[in-house]
Structure 1
Amino acid sequence: MAARSVRLPDIGEGVAEAEVTAWHVKVGDLVREDQPLADVMTDKATVEIPSPVTGKVVALGAEPGTRVPVGSELVRLEVDGEGGSAGIEVAPEIAAAQGAESGRTPAELQPAAEGLEPPQPAPRKEAPPTSPTPAPARPAAAPVRPAVAPPAGPPRAPGEKPIASPAVRRRALEGGIDLRRLRGTGPAGRITHDDLDAYLAAGESEALGQPAGMRPRIGVEEVKVVGLRRRIAENMADAKRRVAHFSYVEEVDVTALEELRGALNARHGESRTRLTLIPFLVRALVRTLPDFPQMNALYDDEASIVLRHEGVHVGIATQTPNGLMVPVLRHAEARDLWDVAAELKRVADAARSGVAARDELSGSTISITSLGALGGIATTPVVNRPEVAIIGVNKQVMRPVWRDGTFVPRLMMNLSSSFDHRVVDGYDAARFIQAIKALLETPTLLFMDA
């Protein structure tokens, strides 16, 4: 048998490390050639590492959530044959892990990895027999006191002090138990150790006579933050720490826009991609951003440079089974309404199914986020750094609106937007959103050149 080391390959240009997000095998498994061994992630792209040979897994190089450099050992396999990689030195940490499972020391494991027999341990000398010493007699076990639940009933009346010995009070204090919530079974209602035992064994709700459905749940589930979820957490924390956020919320009447959207879907819904509100908002951004170039920009705060882009590359915040991703609609300025809708659907589906390429998840210059029907009244989106602006779409609600001396029903929606105050002034942000509002409230302007 020979040892074969499977190392983290060079996943892409400029990638120096990757995070192990999941293992598909465990120590002792037999794996076939091309069978998936592990998932690793870098730059929001998850890559599957296959086995190059058939063999048996003898060691794993990292726990899920660990970042490992390119070229480091991921898996050690035991394969048929001699020579080749059989002489690879066992890493100390892997040898220690193997030793913990087999009960052998790293020194004993090293020759085994090289195809040699481990040194035989020196025979142990038998200790001379000694005369048996009688074991000391154990004291008789104290009788177990049955747990008697305190009588069911409401807590003590206000001002009524519980009666208990100092020892019982000390136990209650150490256990965080409020004695006023117990009724004692001792003389004159004294709370005894048995009452405390029954209270702890039965739980507070049962001891007070409450139904099982109202008993407190004390379980705690430990969930390790790894992979994309950890990357999202790091990016959000970095954005909140480095971006000077401010938000601006504006109410928009989308009655005419929704009538136009419904008419277009009714006419072309079977032959073209169904339109949502987002393609119209993208169209409004394309028409508005030339007058507000500071919004379609990336801020390199380390070099103090703002990069204003002519092309409009819209990031669309998308919820996926693995967490929040931002696939990118590139060159929205060169697409018509249905092309925007089709491309949005394609990149969002790719993100949700986990097949989006790296360039489809990076390079946006401004972002849109929407919770759809769950959008609520207003939100405070987090700027997708290094961008400087993000537009948030909220829920549409039919409301009475005062117009021309009377109330009329109108479909209303809020735009909740956030900006980086380091490079965007509040006055410009308000003018920017007002310009988008004017286009959405008069949707024919979206398709006029003048």
Structure 2
Amino acid sequence: HAGPAVRMLARELGVDLGLVKPSGPKDRVLKEDVQAYVKQAIANQGKAQTAAAPAASGGAGIPAIPEVDFSQFGEIEEKPMGRLLKMGATNLHRSWLNVPHVTQFDEADITELESFRKAMKAEVEAQGAKLTPLPFMVKACAFALRKFPQFNVSLKGDGETLVWKNYVHIGIAVDTPDGLMVPVVRNADKKSLIEIAKEMAELGKKAQTKKLKRDEMTGGCFTITSLGSIGGTAFTPIVNAPEVAILGVSKAQMKPVWDGSTFQPRLMMPLSLSYDHRAINGADAARFTAFLADLLTDIRRLLL
């Protein structure tokens, strides 16, 4: 219960006296009780707004995309995202917001590589492997990471410390019906092309059948994502943080290339290298892609 003055104060402030904890004699509600209740309500409201801000703004102070009732435009169907798809979306969103991306584009002349690959096809298949262009990419990237160790690092959370890695594990993005998965070929720099091809086939099969283990998808130093079997001329892959670089491979096409005296038909493969500009500068990215293109143009360089 409360006196007339307290009830009037409560009406003016829009306070339900039934919610106010009394402190007066015989459980009487005092003015101080009403004022304390209002102060606490304002404080709680402020905390709730602060906690909701990241979700409402979409992160990093970016306004969220407004909700739209699509049913007003026609028939729709809503389906929840699968666990894998949802996890991938979270990781990609986090990387895009946290990593200052730059993409370096180049081309590699893989005419001779492709001739060698086709010539070795039957011999490799006899050893139980399938030699696609991708194992060559893995081997060349592993070689390039040894040549340019600044690409084989991770930036710690403090933003001031680089972790230099003395191992070379290459992640391969695999498209599955449930979403993107990135199995990892460990110690790729120490394995032969056939060993890499066999391991990639095994990992790819596990990815498609949802049998990949956690330790087969962790520890990557660098990722390759290839759309070469589908098409396209270039794209900007998102860095698979905490890695600092990712190589995108598009579909190789025959192009006329000037050899100094005439145009020659050459099979050119587009390369798209996205990198974290905090850890890697543009000049090094250009050197890396140029070196990688040289390796793919003449794979004998891998023996040096």
Q: TM-score range by the shorter chain?
A: 0.7 to 0.9
Q: In structure 1, give the amino acid aligned to 2:206.
A: A
Residue range with higher mean Cα deviation, 229-238 or 264-273 = 264-273
Encode CA deviations 1:173-220: one digit per residue, 9 max, x unaligned: xxxxxxxxxxxxxxxxxxxxxxxxxxxxxxxxxxxxxxxxxxxx8211
1:33-432 equivalent positions in 2, closer than 5 A: 218-302=74-158, 304-432=160-288
Q: 1:312 & 1:443 partners in 2: Cα distance? A: 19
CA RMSD of aligned residues (A): 1.4
Distance 1:221 1:439, change over 3 A: same
Q: Is the 8 A contact 1:398 1:412 kept in 2?
A: yes
Contact 1:365 1:387 in 2 (8 A): yes
Q: Equivalent pairs: percent with the same residue?
A: 41
Structure 1 counterpart of 2:113, one-letter code: L
TM-score, length-normalised on structure 1? 0.50
Contact 2:124 2:194 in 1 (8 A): no
SS of alignment partner, residue 267 of structure 2? strand
Per-residue CA deviations over 1:211-270 (Å, capped at 9, x if unaligned) read xxxxxx821121222411111111111000000100001011110110111111133322
CA distance in structure 2 between the partners assigned to 1:426 and 1:235 by the alignment: 25
Deviation per residue, 1:255-302 (Å, 9 max, x gap): 011011111113332233011111111211222222211101222233
Q: How far apart, CA to CA, are the structure 1 residues paired with 2:282 and 2:231?
A: 24
- Aligned partner letter, 1:413: M
Q: CA deviation at 1:345?
A: 1.0
Contact 1:372 1:395 in 2 (8 A): yes
Higher helix share: 2
- SS of residue paired to 1:372: coil
Contact 1:326/1:361 (<8 A) preserved: yes
- The one-letter code matched in structure 2 to 1:274 is K
Give SS of 1:294's match: helix
Q: 1:404 to 1:319 in 2, by over 3 A?
A: same
In the alignment, the residues of structure 2 paired with residue 225 and residue 270 of structure 1 have an alpha-carbon distance, to the nearest angstrom, of 42
Higher RCO structure (Cα 8 Å, ≥6 apart):
2
Structure 1 residue 303: Cα displacement = 5.6
1:257 partner letter:
L
**SS of residue in 1 equivalent to 2:149:** coil
1:359/1:403 CA distance change after superposition, 3 Å: same
Match of 1:120 in 2: none
Matched letter for residue 309 of structure 1: K
What is the Cα deviation at residue 309 of structure 1? 1.0
- Encode CA deviations 1:102-152: one digit per residue, 9 max, x unaligned: xxxxxxxxxxxxxxxxxxxxxxxxxxxxxxxxxxxxxxxxxxxxxxxxxxx
Equivalent residue for 1:434? 290
SS of residue matched to 1:339? helix
Give the Cα–Cα distance (whole angstroms) in 2 for the partners of residues 306 and 278 of structure 1.
29
Go from structure 1 to structure 2 and tell me whether the alpha carbon gap of 1:221 and 1:434 turns closer, same or farther (over 3 Å shift): same
SS in 2 for 1:382: coil
User: Match of 2:221, as an amino acid?
Assistant: T
Shift of 1:433: 0.9
Amino acid at match of 2:227: L
CA contact (8 A) 1:375 1:393 kept: no
2:49 counterpart residue number: none
